Protein backbone atom coordinates (compact mmCIF):
# COMPACT_ATOMS: atom_id res chain seq x y z
CA UNK A 1 0.00 0.00 0.00
CA UNK A 2 1.16 3.62 -0.45
CA UNK A 3 3.46 4.76 2.33
CA UNK A 4 3.43 8.00 4.27
CA UNK A 5 5.05 10.23 1.60
CA UNK A 6 2.53 9.13 -1.04
CA UNK A 7 -0.48 9.69 1.22
CA UNK A 8 0.85 13.16 2.05
CA UNK A 9 0.85 13.79 -1.68
CA UNK A 10 -2.80 12.71 -1.88
CA UNK A 11 -3.60 15.02 1.03
CA UNK A 12 -2.10 17.97 -0.80
CA UNK A 13 -3.97 17.13 -4.00
CA UNK A 14 -7.29 17.20 -2.13
CA UNK A 15 -6.66 20.18 0.17
CA UNK A 16 -7.23 22.94 -2.43
CA UNK A 17 -10.84 21.76 -2.80
CA UNK A 18 -11.77 22.19 0.86
CA UNK A 19 -14.75 24.53 1.03
CA UNK A 20 -16.37 23.29 -2.19
CA UNK A 21 -19.66 21.43 -2.54
CA UNK A 22 -20.14 18.03 -4.15
CA UNK A 23 -22.53 18.58 -7.06
CA UNK A 24 -22.33 15.19 -8.80
CA UNK A 25 -20.95 11.76 -7.96
CA UNK A 26 -19.90 8.49 -9.52
CA UNK A 27 -17.88 5.38 -8.79
CA UNK A 28 -18.14 1.64 -8.28
CA UNK A 29 -18.24 1.52 -4.48
CA UNK A 30 -20.70 -1.03 -3.13
CA UNK A 31 -19.96 -0.46 0.56
CA UNK A 32 -21.15 3.12 0.54
CA UNK A 33 -23.43 4.89 -1.89
CA UNK A 34 -21.55 7.47 -4.00
CA UNK A 35 -24.82 9.36 -4.61
CA UNK A 36 -25.14 10.06 -0.88
CA UNK A 37 -22.21 12.51 -1.14
CA UNK A 38 -24.19 14.81 -3.43
CA UNK A 39 -24.76 18.33 -2.04
CA UNK A 40 -22.35 17.77 0.87
CA UNK A 41 -19.51 20.21 1.51
CA UNK A 42 -15.88 19.12 1.81
CA UNK A 43 -14.87 21.02 4.94
CA UNK A 44 -11.47 19.63 5.98
CA UNK A 45 -8.69 17.23 5.01
CA UNK A 46 -6.20 15.62 7.41
CA UNK A 47 -3.51 13.00 7.01
CA UNK A 48 -2.03 10.53 9.46
CA UNK A 49 0.51 7.94 8.36
CA UNK A 50 -1.09 5.89 5.60
CA UNK A 51 -4.63 7.19 6.12
CA UNK A 52 -6.44 10.20 4.70
CA UNK A 53 -9.38 11.79 6.52
CA UNK A 54 -11.93 13.97 4.74
CA UNK A 55 -14.69 15.82 6.57
CA UNK A 56 -18.05 16.33 4.85
CA UNK A 57 -20.90 18.48 6.12
CA UNK A 58 -24.39 19.11 4.74
CA UNK A 59 -24.08 22.85 5.42
CA UNK A 60 -21.40 25.23 4.19
CA UNK A 61 -21.35 27.02 7.54
CA UNK A 62 -21.24 23.79 9.59
CA UNK A 63 -24.75 24.53 10.83
CA UNK A 64 -27.62 22.30 11.81
CA UNK A 65 -28.11 19.04 9.95
CA UNK A 66 -31.72 19.89 9.22
CA UNK A 67 -33.31 17.33 6.93
CA UNK A 68 -30.15 16.56 4.96
CA UNK A 69 -28.74 13.11 5.57
CA UNK A 70 -25.07 12.32 5.83
CA UNK A 71 -23.69 9.49 3.68
CA UNK A 72 -24.90 6.15 4.88
CA UNK A 73 -22.44 4.23 7.10
CA UNK A 74 -20.99 0.91 6.11
CA UNK A 75 -22.88 -2.24 6.78
CA UNK A 76 -22.08 -4.09 9.96
CA UNK A 77 -18.76 -5.86 9.68
CA UNK A 78 -17.50 -3.52 6.95
CA UNK A 79 -16.71 -0.45 9.03
CA UNK A 80 -13.13 -1.15 10.00
CA UNK A 81 -10.17 -1.72 7.69
CA UNK A 82 -7.69 -3.97 9.40
CA UNK A 83 -4.29 -2.34 9.66
CA UNK A 84 -2.03 -5.17 8.52
CA UNK A 85 1.20 -3.60 9.69
CA UNK A 86 0.10 -2.74 13.23
CA UNK A 87 -1.66 -6.07 13.79
CA UNK A 88 0.82 -8.35 12.05
CA UNK A 89 1.90 -9.89 15.34
CA UNK A 90 -1.66 -10.41 16.52
CA UNK A 91 -3.62 -11.80 13.58
CA UNK A 92 -2.51 -14.91 11.62
CA UNK A 93 -2.48 -14.90 7.85
CA UNK A 94 -0.84 -16.80 5.04
CA UNK A 95 -0.81 -13.72 2.81
CA UNK A 96 2.50 -12.19 1.78
CA UNK A 97 2.30 -8.42 1.59
CA UNK A 98 4.58 -6.38 -0.65
CA UNK A 99 4.77 -2.61 -0.96
CA UNK A 100 4.04 -0.08 -3.65
CA UNK A 101 6.15 -0.02 -6.78
CA UNK A 102 7.97 3.08 -7.90
CA UNK A 103 5.98 5.31 -10.22
CA UNK A 104 6.05 8.88 -11.54
CA UNK A 105 4.48 11.36 -9.14
CA UNK A 106 2.81 14.73 -9.42
CA UNK A 107 4.28 17.96 -8.06
CA UNK A 108 3.14 18.59 -4.50
CA UNK A 109 3.88 21.02 -1.69
CA UNK A 110 4.21 19.97 1.97
CA UNK A 111 1.60 21.01 4.46
CA UNK A 112 1.92 21.48 8.20
CA UNK A 113 0.55 19.23 10.90
CA UNK A 114 -2.56 20.16 12.78
CA UNK A 115 -0.99 19.25 16.12
CA UNK A 116 -4.22 17.52 17.15
CA UNK A 117 -4.40 13.91 18.25
CA UNK A 118 -8.11 13.61 17.52
CA UNK A 119 -10.11 16.01 15.35
CA UNK A 120 -13.64 15.74 16.67
CA UNK A 121 -16.71 15.98 14.48
CA UNK A 122 -19.56 18.30 15.41
CA UNK A 123 -21.73 16.12 17.61
CA UNK A 124 -23.97 18.88 18.98
CA UNK A 125 -26.41 18.47 16.10
CA UNK A 126 -27.14 15.03 14.83
CA UNK A 127 -26.17 12.98 17.86
CA UNK A 128 -22.54 12.24 17.03
CA UNK A 129 -22.96 11.96 13.27
CA UNK A 130 -20.10 10.36 11.38
CA UNK A 131 -18.75 13.13 9.20
CA UNK A 132 -15.15 12.02 8.65
CA UNK A 133 -14.44 9.74 5.71
CA UNK A 134 -11.39 7.56 6.40
CA UNK A 135 -9.62 6.56 3.19
CA UNK A 136 -7.15 3.65 3.33
CA UNK A 137 -5.35 2.92 0.08
CA UNK A 138 -4.62 -0.48 -1.44
CA UNK A 139 -1.42 -1.53 -3.19
CA UNK A 140 -2.10 0.62 -6.26
CA UNK A 141 -4.34 3.13 -4.50
CA UNK A 142 -4.31 6.70 -5.75
CA UNK A 143 -6.22 9.95 -6.16
CA UNK A 144 -6.48 11.69 -9.54
CA UNK A 145 -7.51 15.31 -10.06
CA UNK A 146 -9.43 16.34 -13.19
CA UNK A 147 -8.45 13.19 -15.07
CA UNK A 148 -8.97 9.45 -14.85
CA UNK A 149 -6.33 6.76 -14.55
CA UNK A 150 -5.57 4.93 -17.78
CA UNK A 151 -4.42 1.36 -18.36
CA UNK A 152 -0.64 1.14 -18.62
CA UNK A 153 -0.66 -2.38 -20.03
CA UNK A 154 -3.02 -5.09 -21.23
CA UNK A 155 -4.51 -7.56 -18.76
CA UNK A 156 -4.04 -11.34 -18.94
CA UNK A 157 -6.73 -11.54 -21.61
CA UNK A 158 -4.98 -8.94 -23.72
CA UNK A 159 -7.61 -6.27 -23.06
CA UNK A 160 -6.70 -2.67 -22.36
CA UNK A 161 -9.17 -1.82 -19.63
CA UNK A 162 -8.87 1.39 -17.68
CA UNK A 163 -9.09 1.11 -13.88
CA UNK A 164 -12.53 1.84 -12.45
CA UNK A 165 -12.59 4.52 -9.73
CA UNK A 166 -14.09 3.56 -6.39
CA UNK A 167 -15.49 7.06 -5.93
CA UNK A 168 -15.70 10.20 -8.09
CA UNK A 169 -16.64 13.57 -6.60
CA UNK A 170 -17.51 16.43 -8.95
CA UNK A 171 -17.12 19.73 -7.12
CA UNK A 172 -18.77 23.13 -7.40
CA UNK A 173 -15.54 24.76 -8.59
CA UNK A 174 -15.60 22.68 -11.77
CA UNK A 175 -12.99 20.08 -10.78
CA UNK A 176 -13.36 16.43 -9.85
CA UNK A 177 -11.54 13.93 -7.66
CA UNK A 178 -11.26 10.23 -8.57
CA UNK A 179 -10.34 7.71 -5.85
CA UNK A 180 -8.87 4.35 -6.89
CA UNK A 181 -8.25 1.07 -5.06
CA UNK A 182 -9.11 2.23 -1.57
CA UNK A 183 -11.30 1.28 1.35
CA UNK A 184 -13.54 3.94 2.84
CA UNK A 185 -15.39 4.08 6.13
CA UNK A 186 -17.15 6.74 8.18
CA UNK A 187 -15.93 7.95 11.57
CA UNK A 188 -17.07 10.53 14.08
CA UNK A 189 -13.52 11.91 14.31
CA UNK A 190 -10.23 11.95 12.44
CA UNK A 191 -7.66 9.92 14.35
CA UNK A 192 -4.55 12.04 13.96
CA UNK A 193 -1.59 11.48 16.30
CA UNK A 194 1.48 13.42 15.11
CA UNK A 195 3.79 11.89 17.74
CA UNK A 196 3.78 8.56 15.89
CA UNK A 197 3.82 9.99 12.34
CA UNK A 198 7.31 9.68 10.85
CA UNK A 199 6.74 12.77 8.68
CA UNK A 200 5.45 14.98 11.45
CA UNK A 201 7.56 17.63 13.16
CA UNK A 202 6.09 16.26 16.39
CA UNK A 203 7.30 12.70 15.78
CA UNK A 204 8.32 11.29 19.20
CA UNK A 205 11.81 9.82 18.80
CA UNK A 206 11.95 8.64 22.39
CA UNK A 207 8.78 6.61 21.99
CA UNK A 208 10.10 5.11 18.75
CA UNK A 209 13.47 4.22 20.31
CA UNK A 210 11.80 2.56 23.28
CA UNK A 211 9.71 0.42 20.92
CA UNK A 212 12.74 -0.55 18.82
CA UNK A 213 14.66 -1.63 21.93
CA UNK A 214 12.31 -4.51 22.62
CA UNK A 215 13.32 -8.15 22.36
CA UNK A 216 12.04 -8.78 18.87
CA UNK A 217 13.45 -8.35 15.34
CA UNK A 218 13.63 -4.67 14.43
CA UNK A 219 12.02 -5.34 11.04
CA UNK A 220 8.81 -6.25 12.88
CA UNK A 221 8.84 -3.14 15.09
CA UNK A 222 9.47 -0.76 12.20
CA UNK A 223 6.13 -1.75 10.63
CA UNK A 224 4.18 -1.16 13.85
CA UNK A 225 2.02 1.86 12.99
CA UNK A 226 1.57 2.71 16.67
CA UNK A 227 5.16 3.98 16.72
CA UNK A 228 6.07 4.45 13.03
CA UNK A 229 2.88 5.58 11.35
CA UNK A 230 3.39 5.93 7.60
CA UNK A 231 6.35 3.55 7.50
CA UNK A 232 5.99 0.72 4.99
CA UNK A 233 8.09 -1.94 3.34
CA UNK A 234 10.18 0.38 1.17
CA UNK A 235 11.17 2.66 4.06
CA UNK A 236 11.81 -0.37 6.28
CA UNK A 237 14.23 -1.98 3.83
CA UNK A 238 16.05 1.24 2.97
CA UNK A 239 16.49 2.41 6.57
CA UNK A 240 17.83 -0.97 7.70
CA UNK A 241 20.34 -1.09 4.87
CA UNK A 242 21.56 2.46 5.40
CA UNK A 243 21.95 1.81 9.11
CA UNK A 244 23.85 -1.45 8.42
CA UNK A 245 21.45 -3.49 10.55
CA UNK A 246 20.27 -7.02 9.73
CA UNK A 247 16.44 -7.17 9.56
CA UNK A 248 16.24 -9.96 12.16
CA UNK A 249 18.51 -8.25 14.69
CA UNK A 250 16.85 -8.15 18.11
CA UNK A 251 16.35 -4.57 19.18
CA UNK A 252 17.23 -5.40 22.77
CA UNK A 253 20.75 -6.44 21.65
CA UNK A 254 21.48 -3.37 19.57
CA UNK A 255 23.38 -0.44 21.06
CA UNK A 256 21.66 2.92 21.60
CA UNK A 257 23.92 4.30 18.88
CA UNK A 258 22.64 1.76 16.35
CA UNK A 259 19.01 2.38 17.31
CA UNK A 260 19.49 6.15 17.03
CA UNK A 261 21.04 5.69 13.59
CA UNK A 262 18.11 3.54 12.47
CA UNK A 263 15.55 6.17 13.51
CA UNK A 264 17.66 8.85 11.80
CA UNK A 265 17.59 6.92 8.53
CA UNK A 266 13.84 6.34 8.80
CA UNK A 267 13.18 10.05 9.16
CA UNK A 268 15.77 11.15 6.58
CA UNK A 269 14.72 8.69 3.88
CA UNK A 270 11.03 9.49 4.38
CA UNK A 271 11.67 13.23 4.22
CA UNK A 272 13.86 12.86 1.11
CA UNK A 273 11.18 10.74 -0.55
CA UNK A 274 8.56 13.37 0.18
CA UNK A 275 10.82 16.14 -1.07
CA UNK A 276 11.41 14.18 -4.26
CA UNK A 277 7.67 14.12 -4.80
CA UNK A 278 7.58 17.91 -4.50
CA UNK A 279 10.14 18.05 -7.30
CA UNK A 280 8.47 15.36 -9.45
CA UNK A 281 11.38 12.97 -9.01
CA UNK A 282 11.20 9.20 -8.75
CA UNK A 283 12.53 7.84 -5.46
CA UNK A 284 15.91 6.12 -5.69
CA UNK A 285 16.31 2.96 -3.60
CA UNK A 286 19.56 1.23 -2.70
CA UNK A 287 18.35 -2.19 -1.57
CA UNK A 288 14.58 -2.53 -2.14
CA UNK A 289 13.92 -4.96 -5.03
CA UNK A 290 17.63 -4.93 -5.96
CA UNK A 291 19.85 -7.87 -6.90
CA UNK A 292 23.03 -6.12 -5.78
CA UNK A 293 23.72 -3.52 -3.11
CA UNK A 294 25.46 -0.25 -4.09
CA UNK A 295 28.83 -1.83 -3.21
CA UNK A 296 28.17 -4.73 -5.59
CA UNK A 297 27.39 -7.50 -3.09
CA UNK A 298 24.61 -10.00 -3.89
CA UNK A 299 21.35 -9.14 -2.12
CA UNK A 300 19.26 -11.70 -0.23
CA UNK A 301 15.46 -11.73 -0.26
CA UNK A 302 13.05 -13.47 2.09
CA UNK A 303 9.69 -12.96 3.78
CA UNK A 304 9.94 -12.12 7.48
CA UNK A 305 7.22 -11.74 10.06
CA UNK A 306 6.12 -13.05 13.46
CA UNK A 307 5.10 -16.72 13.65
CA UNK A 308 1.51 -16.91 12.46
CA UNK A 309 1.58 -13.24 11.42
CA UNK A 310 2.04 -11.34 8.19
CA UNK A 311 5.23 -12.08 6.28
CA UNK A 312 6.75 -9.08 4.49
CA UNK A 313 9.28 -9.34 1.69
CA UNK A 314 12.65 -8.11 2.87
CA UNK A 315 15.86 -7.37 0.98
CA UNK A 316 19.24 -7.16 2.74
CA UNK A 317 22.96 -7.46 2.06
CA UNK A 318 24.59 -10.16 4.25
CA UNK A 319 27.94 -8.36 4.05
CA UNK A 320 26.77 -4.82 4.68
CA UNK A 321 24.15 -5.96 7.22
CA UNK A 322 25.73 -8.92 9.02
CA UNK A 323 23.74 -10.86 11.57
CA UNK A 324 26.11 -11.02 14.52
CA UNK A 325 26.32 -14.07 16.80
CA UNK A 326 25.07 -13.48 20.39
CA UNK A 327 28.52 -12.86 21.89
CA UNK A 328 29.37 -10.23 19.27
CA UNK A 329 25.96 -8.62 19.66
CA UNK A 330 26.65 -8.15 23.36
CA UNK A 331 29.97 -6.50 22.54
CA UNK A 332 28.28 -4.24 19.98
CA UNK A 333 25.65 -3.31 22.57
CA UNK A 334 28.33 -1.72 24.75
CA UNK A 335 30.23 -0.06 21.91
Instruction: Indicate if 55 belongs to the active site.
Output: no
CA 193 vs CA 105, 115, 119, 173: distances in Å: 26, 8, 10, 31
Instruction: Check 3, 100, 130, 238 and give the catalytic one.
Output: 3
Q: Is the dihedral of CA 179, 184, 110, 261 positive or negative?
A: negative
Residues 6+ apart with CB under 8 A from 57: 40, 41, 43, 122, 131
Q: What 8-state DSSP symbol labels residue 297?
A: P
Instruction: Indicate if 3 belongs to the active site.
Output: yes
Instruction: Indicate if 50 belongs to the active site.
Output: yes
Instruction: Check 8, 9, 242, 312 and give the catalytic one.
Output: 312
Query: 97 - beta bridge partners?
Result: 312
In our burial notation (b when 16+ CB lie closer than 10 A, e otherwise), range 244-283 reads: ebbbbbebebbeeebbebbbebbbebbeebbeebbeeeeb
Cite the DSSP H helix spans in the chain. 4-14, 205-212, 218-221, 233-243, 256-278, 326-333
Instruction: Check 2, 5, 58, 217 and give the catalytic one.
Output: 2
Helix axes 205-212, 256-278, angle to 10 degrees: 130
Which 3 state secondary structure label does DSSP give 233? helix
8 Å CB contact between 298 and 130: no
CA 329 vs CA 94, 163, 237, 301, 323: distances in Å: 32, 49, 21, 23, 9
**CA 58, CA 67: separation in Å to the nearest integer?**
9
Instruction: Check 8, 9, 50, 166 and give the catalytic one.
Output: 50
| The Cα angle at residue 56 between residues 71 and 82, in degrees rounded to 5 | 70
Q: What 8-state DSSP symbol labels residue 91?
A: S
8 Å CB contact between 33 and 166: no
Q: Which residues carry out catalysis?
A: 2-3, 50, 312
Amino acid sequence: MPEGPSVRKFHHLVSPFVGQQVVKTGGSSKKLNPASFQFLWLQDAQVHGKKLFLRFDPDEELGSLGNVSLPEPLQKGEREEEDQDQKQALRPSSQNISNEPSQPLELVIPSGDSGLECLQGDTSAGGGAERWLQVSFGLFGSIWVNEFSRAKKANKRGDWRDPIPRLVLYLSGGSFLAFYNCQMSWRSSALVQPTSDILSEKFHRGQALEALGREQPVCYTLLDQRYFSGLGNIIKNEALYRAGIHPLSLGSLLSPRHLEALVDHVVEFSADWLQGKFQGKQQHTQIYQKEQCPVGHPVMKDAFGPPGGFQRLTWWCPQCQPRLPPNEQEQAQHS
